[in-house]
Chains A and B, each alone.
Chain A
Amino acid sequence: MYSEKQTGAPASRVASLGSDAGARHGASALPRFPAWIAALSPPRIALWGLVAAVVYLTLVPLVMVIYGTFTDGPPGTDASFTFANYIDAFGGEELYQSGLNSILFALASGALSFTVGCFLAWVTERSNAPLKPLIYFLVLVPFVLPGILSTISWIFLLSPTIGVLNQIVVATLGLAEPPFNIYTFSGMVWAFGIDHITLPFFLMAAAFRSMDPSLEEAATVSGMGPFRTFYYVNLRIMLPSIFAVCLLMFIRGIETFEAPAVIGLPAGINLFATEIFLALRRAPTNYNLAGTYAVAYLAITLIGVGLYLRVTRGAERFVMITGKAYRPRNIDLGPWRFAVTLTSLAILTIAVVLPLAVVVWTSFMPFYSTPSWGMLGLATLDNYAAIFELEEFYRASTNTLITGASAATIAVLLSLGIAWIGIRTDIPGKRLLDMIAFSPIAMPGVVLSLSLVWVYLTLPIHIYGTLWILIVAFVTKFIPISLRIMHVSLLQVHKELEEAAEIANPSPVRNALFVLLPLILPGMLVGWLYVLTLTFKDLSIPILLSHVGTDLLPVLIFGLFQSGELPRLCAMGVLLTLMIAAIAGSTRYLATRLSVKAGE
């Protein structure tokens, strides 16, 4: 590959979006043009177009939401200016208790997800423990199952009255009292945290994969033990990834609704999300109040992003992929590798296999009942047959695949552009751009959807009622997540590679395609898969934006849940798991093949 010396060349070149590039592209031959026109080149136009697209996608709903918080009616009514929403939303005392509960909940469950996800990522990426594909598959499962199903599964496992695990432990140890109670704060943290190990796993796996082993070797040579190496080398370098994961997990924990509603309400523990749920179940839905709650999320989120951007400033410190050819070395655990695999599988059995088993079991039952040999006689395929009889199932599956794949592709490409601008250029306002692009994460889906309904009902852009409005909504909602993933991926690639490529071949498009892209492909695929899977789960967007013939799977899932068809819902969950596992499997296969090619 390229030698180190060549890369000593003009470091500012790649970072030249706003400055010297005009001269290079021959603007001097056209002296009369204003500088900004002269500076326009096709890639530059593309980049500005991308910025415009992201700003449009995110700012339009955001402005509408914030405007709505100061009015007393939905869009299209003669609403007048008011502060009443803020007084309603934040005036009550109980909100501070529930806000505090939310923060504690998000921190505790985030810590749990991160620890488990990170450990499993290390096992699959850096150790020589056996059975890695099985681990990889199992980590994916909780991510695919509809949240409502996994939460209910945890009740069936850990309820003091009917919990299967409780019954087993009581029977084997001869206890007087069931040892676990899901209806507690820790029960809620467990159910939610263990259900969200997939994102930390993915992001940390990508970070481990691109770790330059020479750094570790250097640390070992200079006499550091494995723990100090981990602390001073690995941990420091992976800081952006760790911070990004924690930020996303924290926000997810603050805004999640299922665990607080299904476990928190019976436990008498109200979170911020519970308050919002209680406020919004009044008809007609008070979008102004919903938007006002969103502002609180927004404030928390922006503080988080601000911190993240501070921590990751000085991008060179986090570079892992340099011009040197290397492949991360798998740590030889010796005989310990079996112990590590056993530990991983034990964790995954508790975290994934048990709830999945409840879902699979229920999917073959006429109704849920504690598993027993007697009930096995009632096993039936009716629930699967009922799903396959629904025309809506086929239509919704196709629609969801098309919408999800398109939204994922667009979101990843747009956020790659935003991340590239943030890391490789000195455009003024790049930090603001990052924050704007990240802000939709704070918007509850229902608020985002309503503002989009309104925008596209009134503007002469006729996408309401088509799949396009769903794609627009999903891209807007999920750009923040793919942005963090792409930001982390890009931070790890040394710009010397791009500079070297630029010297060898001045076509930026070619360089992006053949140098940068293969290096960040693993990150892109993670982002793509993650966004795609989210579109299989998000209900708030299709419930308001799907129309006749554009129904998506989450609406069907919710319909099954609403009409009391839990066993059918479980059958659906099993089918979804298989579907996404197939997509994930082929994505991973593709990623491996492509990165092998890029390495050759």
Chain B
Amino acid sequence: MHSQSAASVRSASRALLFAGALVALSSVGAAPARALSDTEAFYKGLEGLSAADREKTLVEGAKKEGTVVWYTTDGPTPTQVVIKAFSQKYPFVKAGFIRGKSQDILDRITTEARAGRNLFDVAKTSTETFDMYPVADVFAAYVSPAKTAIPENMRAERWSSVFTFVRAMGYNSRLLKESDLPKTWEDLLDPRWKNKILFDPSSLPEMMTLYTRWGRERAIDFVGKLGASGNLQIRNGRTTITQMLAAGEAPIGMTVYPYDVEALKSKGAPVDWALIDPSPGLLQPLSIARNAPHPYAAALLYDYLLSTDGQKVYAQMNRTPANPAVETSNPRERAAAKDPRIVFDTSGGRGSGTEEMLKVLDEKILKKKPKG
């Protein structure tokens, strides 16, 4: 029964991996050939259609399906706002969702896939963890007409970013003037920041940004100094750090989400943010399941989220839409996303660097002996 089909999926995927490895060996540079899944074959078939025919086909199919299942990293309120907007346009599709962190969602997706159960249609994750999972096994290659509006460095065969984040230095604007702010990571070593910098333990993207910009030696050397400086106070969770900055617990937070800071600032909280060189930019990849149970509705939701309408919904919530033509309510973050100090990197090729920097972060910053 199920275990049987799971076994056949497993053996099939093993065969595919093997075939893929052969192809990759013989034709370096070409995308590894994999047999198309039913979902992928269906989308391939749509590619010849005109925009109107395509929409008509999808709408008719989605009416029969009636449901779409979305796994998302969005918070409770944004999820509801986006789904409301979607169901206004397509009232015949009921969108169900699961929310979680990117890691939770990908853990779940890969487990379900290994068990041979196809339960989700669309997933939104984060580049922070994206590349650490067998993406090609669980997400479909999909050419969406909506995808073309997204800059090329923010999309690939199996995903496209819906919006972007930058991570910046947050500060309490009552305790610090803009002119006193550190400009680079090296400035953070200054003894006057003793115990004054709130630092999130999940800072792999920050570490990798240093690694990419500075190279291995310099990055490792610097992280060691930062850990030994006694300037960092470890705080779990960037949103907590932002709240703590607003409350005046410490003057600086490394790093925070500007949209989060802007939301508090607009309510009158004494917080602000600034870029520090270099800082990470993160993508929010949207993907369709390789074996989607509702492929018609999945394509509708996916295309909607990347369309101008969908992008506007995100923009109204202070996010920076991936489509550069869509105005945002947070122009500062949009400008920051284009700033040369920001490194957008999906980390695909960094391999051993990731492992090494994670270890350095653990050993030099998180597990060092308590001071005094």
Binding site for B on A (CB under 8 A): 74-78, 94, 152, 155-156, 159, 161-162, 261-262, 265-270, 278, 281-285, 366-370, 378, 386, 389-392, 450, 453-454, 457-460, 464-465, 543-544, 546-549, 551, 555-556, 559-566
A284 touches B107 (CB 8 A): yes
| Residue in B108, B235, B260 whose CB lies within 8 Å of A564 | B260
Binding site for A on B (CB under 8 A): 1-3, 6, 10, 14, 69, 74-80, 96-104, 106-108, 110-112, 114-115, 117, 119, 128-129, 132-133, 201-202, 233-240, 242-244, 246-250, 257, 260, 263-264, 267-269, 358, 362, 366-371
A369 touches B269 (CB 8 A): yes
Report the separation of the CA atoms of residues A261 and B269 in the bound assembly, to the nearest whole angstrom.
Answer: 26
B133 touches A283 (CB 8 A): yes
Residue of B nearest to A378 (CB): B268
B114 touches A75 (CB 8 A): yes
B1 touches A460 (CB 8 A): yes
B264 touches A560 (CB 8 A): no
Contacts A464-B117, A565-B75 known; 15 new A-B pairs at CB < 8 A? A152-B240, A156-B247, A162-B248, A270-B367, A278-B366, A278-B367, A281-B202, A283-B102, A283-B103, A450-B107, A548-B96, A549-B96, A551-B98, A555-B99, A563-B239
Q: A284-B107, A460-B1, A560-B76 in contact; A367/B267 too (CB < 8 A)?
A: yes
A281 touches B370 (CB 8 A): no
B6 touches A566 (CB 8 A): no
A390 touches B96 (CB 8 A): no
Query: Can you identify 19 A-B contacts, CB atoms within 8 angstroms?
Result: A76-B111, A77-B114, A152-B240, A267-B370, A278-B201, A278-B362, A281-B103, A283-B102, A285-B103, A366-B267, A369-B246, A369-B248, A453-B111, A453-B112, A559-B75, A560-B76, A561-B240, A563-B78, A565-B75
B119 touches A547 (CB 8 A): yes
In the A-B complex, the 5 residue pairs with the smallest Cβ-Cβ separation, listed nearest first, are: A563-B75, A564-B239, A268-B370, A548-B96, A76-B114
By a CB distance below 8 angstroms, the chain A residues around B257 are 564
| Residue in A386, A548, A561 whose CB lies within 8 Å of B77 | A386
Report the separation of the CA atoms of residues A465 and B79 in the bound assembly, to the nearest whole angstrom.
Answer: 20
A390 touches B77 (CB 8 A): yes
| Residue in B2, B362, B371 whose CB lies within 8 Å of A460 | B2
Report the separation of the CA atoms of residues A126 and B291 in the bound assembly, to the nearest whole angstrom.
Answer: 64
Report the separation of the CA atoms of residues A268 and B228 in the bound assembly, to the nearest whole angstrom.
Answer: 13
By a CB distance below 8 angstroms, the chain B residues around A156 are 247
Q: A265-B234, A268-B369, A369-B246 in contact; A76/B6 too (CB < 8 A)?
A: yes
Distance (whole angstroms) from the CB of A160 to the closest CB of chain B:
10
Residue of A nearest to B126 (CB): A283
B111 touches A450 (CB 8 A): yes
By a CB distance below 8 angstroms, the chain B residues around A544 are 104, 107-108
By a CB distance below 8 angstroms, the chain A residues around B103 are 281, 283-285
B249 touches A283 (CB 8 A): no
> Total A-B pairs in contact (CB under 8 Å)?
170
Residue of A nearest to B259 (CB): A564
B369 touches A284 (CB 8 A): no
Q: A366-B269, A369-B246 in contact; A269/B202 too (CB < 8 A)?
A: no
Q: A268-B368, A284-B103 in contact; A562/B80 too (CB < 8 A)?
A: no
B371 touches A268 (CB 8 A): yes
By a CB distance below 8 angstroms, the chain B residues around A551 are 98-99
Distance (whole angstroms) from the CB of A100 to the closest CB of chain B:
14
Distance (whole angstroms) from the CB of B271 to the closest CB of chain A:
8
By a CB distance below 8 angstroms, the chain A residues around B133 are 283-284
A370 touches B247 (CB 8 A): yes
By a CB distance below 8 angstroms, the chain A residues around B104 are 543-544
By a CB distance below 8 angstroms, the chain B residues around A262 are 235-236, 240
Residue of B nearest to A391 (CB): B80
Distance (whole angstroms) from the CB of A148 to the closest CB of chain B:
9
By a CB distance below 8 angstroms, the chain A residues around B244 are 155
By a CB distance below 8 angstroms, the chain B residues around A75 are 111, 114
Report the separation of the CA atoms of residues A284 and B358 in the bound assembly, to the nearest whole angstrom.
Answer: 14
By a CB distance below 8 angstroms, the chain B residues around A270 are 367
Distance (whole angstroms) from the CB of B262 to the closest CB of chain A:
11
Report the separation of the CA atoms of residues A267 and B108 in the bound assembly, to the nearest whole angstrom.
Answer: 33
By a CB distance below 8 angstroms, the chain B residues around A562 are 75, 101, 237, 239
Q: A161-B249, A283-B132, A465-B119 in contact; A392/B100 too (CB < 8 A)?
A: no
Report the separation of the CA atoms of residues A238 and B13 in the bound assembly, to the nearest whole angstrom.
Answer: 60
A458 touches B6 (CB 8 A): yes
Q: A152-B240, A266-B235 in contact; A458/B76 too (CB < 8 A)?
A: no
By a CB distance below 8 angstroms, the chain A residues around B201 are 265, 278, 281
By a CB distance below 8 angstroms, the chain B residues around A278 are 201, 362, 366-367
Distance (whole angstroms) from the CB of A358 to the closest CB of chain B:
11
Report the separation of the CA atoms of residues A543 and B107 in the bound assembly, to the nearest whole angstrom.
Answer: 11
Distance (whole angstroms) from the CB of B118 to the closest CB of chain A:
11
B76 touches A284 (CB 8 A): no
By a CB distance below 8 angstroms, the chain B residues around A555 are 99-100
| Residue in A162, A267, A386, A559 whose CB lies within 8 Å of B249 | A162
By a CB distance below 8 angstroms, the chain A residues around B10 are 76
Residue of B nearest to A163 (CB): B249
Distance (whole angstroms) from the CB of A211 to the closest CB of chain B:
44
| Residue in A261, A368, A547 whose CB lies within 8 Å of B236 | A261
Report the separation of the CA atoms of residues A368 and B271 in the bound assembly, to the nearest whole angstrom.
Answer: 12
B3 touches A458 (CB 8 A): yes
By a CB distance below 8 angstroms, the chain B residues around A460 are 1-2
Distance (whole angstroms) from the CB of A94 to the closest CB of chain B:
6
Q: A75-B114, A284-B132, A457-B115 in contact; A369/B98 too (CB < 8 A)?
A: no
By a CB distance below 8 angstroms, the chain B residues around A266 are 233-235
Report the separation of the CA atoms of residues A555 and B201 in the bound assembly, to the nearest whole angstrom.
Answer: 22
By a CB distance below 8 angstroms, the chain B residues around A281 are 103, 201-202
B250 touches A161 (CB 8 A): yes
A566 touches B243 (CB 8 A): yes
B246 touches A368 (CB 8 A): yes
A548 touches B98 (CB 8 A): yes
Report the separation of the CA atoms of residues A368 and B239 in the bound assembly, to the nearest whole angstrom.
Answer: 12
B248 touches A161 (CB 8 A): yes
By a CB distance below 8 angstroms, the chain A residues around B114 are 74-77
Report the separation of the CA atoms of residues A389 and B79 in the bound assembly, to the nearest whole angstrom.
Answer: 13
B75 touches A560 (CB 8 A): yes
By a CB distance below 8 angstroms, the chain B residues around A457 are 2, 111-112, 115, 117
Report the separation of the CA atoms of residues A278 and B249 in the bound assembly, to the nearest whole angstrom.
Answer: 24
B77 touches A368 (CB 8 A): no
B97 touches A548 (CB 8 A): yes
Distance (whole angstroms) from the CB of B168 to the closest CB of chain A:
14
Report the separation of the CA atoms of residues A217 and B99 in the bound assembly, to the nearest whole angstrom.
Answer: 60
By a CB distance below 8 angstroms, the chain B residues around A559 are 75-76, 99
Distance (whole angstroms) from the CB of A23 to the closest CB of chain B:
46
By a CB distance below 8 angstroms, the chain A residues around B233 are 266
Distance (whole angstroms) from the CB of A303 to the closest CB of chain B:
28
Residue of B nearest to A393 (CB): B76
B237 touches A458 (CB 8 A): no
Residue of A nearest to B232 (CB): A266
Most buried by B among A261, A285, A563: A563
By a CB distance below 8 angstroms, the chain B residues around A159 are 249
Distance (whole angstroms) from the CB of A411 to the closest CB of chain B:
25
Distance (whole angstroms) from the CB of A204 to the closest CB of chain B:
33
By a CB distance below 8 angstroms, the chain B residues around A369 are 246-248, 269
Most buried by A among B75, B242, B248: B75
| Residue in A265, A283, A391, A458 whose CB lies within 8 Å of B235 | A265
Distance (whole angstroms) from the CB of A263 to the closest CB of chain B:
10
By a CB distance below 8 angstroms, the chain A residues around B128 are 283
A285 touches B107 (CB 8 A): yes
Report the separation of the CA atoms of residues A391 and B263 in the bound assembly, to the nearest whole angstrom.
Answer: 23
Report the separation of the CA atoms of residues A366 and B265 in the bound assembly, to the nearest whole angstrom.
Answer: 10
Q: A159-B249, A460-B1 in contact; A367/B264 too (CB < 8 A)?
A: yes
Distance (whole angstroms) from the CB of B276 to the closest CB of chain A:
20
A563 touches B76 (CB 8 A): yes
By a CB distance below 8 angstroms, the chain B residues around A283 are 102-103, 106-107, 128-129, 132-133
By a CB distance below 8 angstroms, the chain A residues around B236 are 261-262, 265
